[in-house]
Structure 1
């Protein structure tokens, strides 16, 4: 039986949650999530954070902030979790204001992945549907 090196390397090496946070591919938002009621560590993908959590230029003065957008994301996530408590991967929709004039709301599919962290403790990762 022949095992190719690239397959063997993939089996031996795994990219940890801690590494992803250190590298900036995941953004730790645990402290903000606690304010909304989460009891486990929460991270969001960099893609979700940059595209939708960070308000687009010009919207900061229109009541749009990272804090407010995270609150909306967490609130919708909690509702989705209540509906599907026994699932580890849940999709839900969130509306984000993407333009000020004219005001444009975009419905975004977000995935909530519930699972163990590197130490096998519960955690949540929020990401766009096409994120890994």
Structure 2
């Protein structure tokens, strides 16, 4: 690739993204949902679709919203027409900025990459604009 693109100017690793908060490690909960690989969600997904401030009330919780993100990814992967390194799925979610509103459908991607330690496979869940 060096012949085509030249010298690498800068790299940004998954470990760095986890350390700086661009990715949030959700592996423990993901394992309960059925994942067999380490899983992280992007900061976008965390803030928009997982995190639920307690002061908003209305029966939502960060844990429940994270579970929805993960379980729907597992279900989408298991029911996909054919295996793929990236799946797209739809999540119905109450927006944080409209806690009394109706759920809206959002599209998320779950991708398996070799970005783990030593090139190990890992899963990243993000919104389309994250890629």
Fold conserved between structures, TM > 0.5 = yes
1:50 partnered with 2:47: yes
Q: Secondary structure at the match of 1:14?
A: coil
Gap regions ≥5 residues in structure 1: none
TM-score where L is the length of structure 1: 0.83
Q: 1:94 aligns with which of 91, 94, 114?
A: 91
Aligned residues: 124
Q: 1:124 aligns to what?
A: 123
Structure having the higher strand fraction is 1
1:82 partnered with 2:78: yes
Larger radius of gyration: 1
1:27 partnered with 2:24: yes
Q: Secondary structure at the match of 1:35?
A: helix
Contact 1:16 1:118 in 2 (8 A): no
Q: Deviations over 1:83-121 (max 9, x none)?
A: 2352001111001112333x3211111010112124221
**Mapping 1:107-118, distance limit 5 Å:** 107-116=105-114, 117-118=116-117
Deviation at 1:124, TM superposition (A): 0.3
**C-alpha distance in 2, partners of 1:14/1:100?**
39
**C-alpha distance in 2, partners of 1:76/1:86?**
16
RMSD of aligned alpha carbons: 2.1
Deviation at 1:58, TM superposition (A): 5.0
